[in-house]
């Protein structure tokens, strides 16, 4: 059952009312749920309007991309899903979501996060090393019918608190607090991310996709000049990233060819 929105969340949402547009309106809060994406899908199926947002302080069945789990213990992070409905959002909504989360974290905390294709939100480890650690992830799940897009649920998980990760994650994940070396509040991060999402949604619905792509490219230095491996048919292929195209596909140079990578797992070397 949804509960009363905690006061710090209510205040942060109130302070960003104008910049958030419909995002976060209404906001449903759960101290714990299975997956906020599942709760948002239920609401969307019942006709919830664009911007309807589900927020949880813990998830017992948080989902990540490629069938993975999303580590969501109580109080460690923000687990949020937003219902989007405008058919003009189809296509670049995942990239726009990555930009929104990265910009929301940057505005609220000053942490200079980057995006790693398709939309992992990462932070550079140390000054000299090229390794990136994941701070946040985005999972967009769409429902379509013969009439086209019914809705998209855009879910994002942000590692806020400095909590111990399980061994498998400790090598690849970090939190905003661990990176900044100080405590941070989750509520302003939520509110600024919803405001940034509203800005991205406005760009998408007014057809200003170049602005989204340009911002994405500025936030994603590893999308150019990084050595990667990916699965092509059944074989693994190695190449060097060469940016994204206007549909959001990752481009990679391999020999004298440029390949488009649309989905699936990319290994960054
Ligand atoms: C990824 O694999 O990087 C995507 C992670 C997305 C996690 C968020 S947490 C809120 C929402 N609910 C879920 O079950 N998943 C998304």
Ligand 1 close to Cβ of residue 97 (< 6 A):
no
Side-chain half-sphere exposure of 262, counting CA atoms within 13 A? 3
**252 in Cβ contact with 259 (< 8 Å):** yes
If one residue of 30, 56, 60, 62 were mutated to test the ligand 1 pocket, choosing by the most ligand atoms within 8 A of its CB, it would be 62
Token readout for 261 is: 């990578």
Q: For ligand 1, atom 7, which residue shows the shortest CA distance?
A: 157
Q: Give the pLDDT band of residue 263 (cuts 50, 70, 90).
A: confident
Q: Summarize pLDDT for 15-41 with one digit per residue, the tens.
A: 999 999 999 999 999 999 999 999 999
Write down the mean pLDDT value for the chain. 94
The SS3 assignment for 94 reads helix
**Is 135 exposed, middle or buried (CB count within 10 Å of its CB: 0-12, 13-18, 19+)?**
buried
Say how far apart CA 106 and CA 90 lie, in whole Å. 26
> What is the rounded distance in angstroms from the CA atom of residue 86 to the CA atom of residue 88?
5
Q: Whose CA is nearest to atom 3 of ligand 1?
A: 137
Return the SS3 of 97: helix
Q: Is 156 in the pocket of ligand 1 (CB under 6 A)?
A: yes
Report which protein residue has its CA nearest ligand 1's atom 9. Answer: 157
Q: Give the mean model confidence (pLDDT) for residues 43-67.
A: 97
Ligand 1 within 6 A of CB of 173 = no
Q: Model confidence at 130, in pLDDT bands (50, 70, 90)? A: confident
């Amino acid at each position: 059952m949804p509960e009363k929105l905690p006061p710090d969340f209510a205040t942060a949402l109130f302070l960003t009312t104008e910049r958030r547009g419909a995002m976060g309106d209404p906001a449903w809060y759960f101290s714990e749920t299975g997956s906020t994406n599942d709760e948002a899908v239920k609401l969307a199926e019942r006709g919830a309007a664009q911007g309807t947002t589900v927020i949880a302080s813990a998830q017992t069945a948080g989902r990540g991309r490629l069938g993975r789990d999303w580590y969501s213990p109580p109080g460690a992070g923000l687990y949020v899903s937003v219902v989007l409905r405008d058919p003009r959002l189809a296509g670049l909504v995942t990239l726009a979501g990555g930009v929104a989360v990265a910009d929301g974290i940057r505005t609220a905390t000053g942490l200079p996060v980057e995006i790693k294709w398709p939309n992992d939100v990462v932070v550079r480890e140390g000054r000299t090393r090229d390794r990136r650690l994941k701070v946040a992830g985005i999972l967009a799940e769409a429902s379509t019918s013969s009439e086209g897009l019914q809705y998209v649920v855009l879910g994002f998980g942000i590692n806020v608190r400095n909590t111990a990760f399980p061994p498998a994650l400790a090598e690849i994940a970090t939190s905003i607090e661990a990176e900044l070396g100080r405590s941070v509040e989750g509520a302003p991060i939520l509110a600024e991310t919803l405001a940034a999402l509203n800005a991205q949604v406005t760009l998408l619905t007014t057809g200003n996709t170049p602005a989204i792509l340009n911002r994405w490219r500025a936030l994603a230095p590893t999308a150019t000049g990084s050595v990667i491996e990916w699965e092509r048919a059944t074989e693994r292929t190695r190449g060097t990233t060469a940016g994204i195209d206007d549909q959001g596909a990752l481009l990679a140079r391999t020999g004298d060819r440029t390949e488009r990578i649309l989905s699936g797992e990319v290994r960054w070397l």
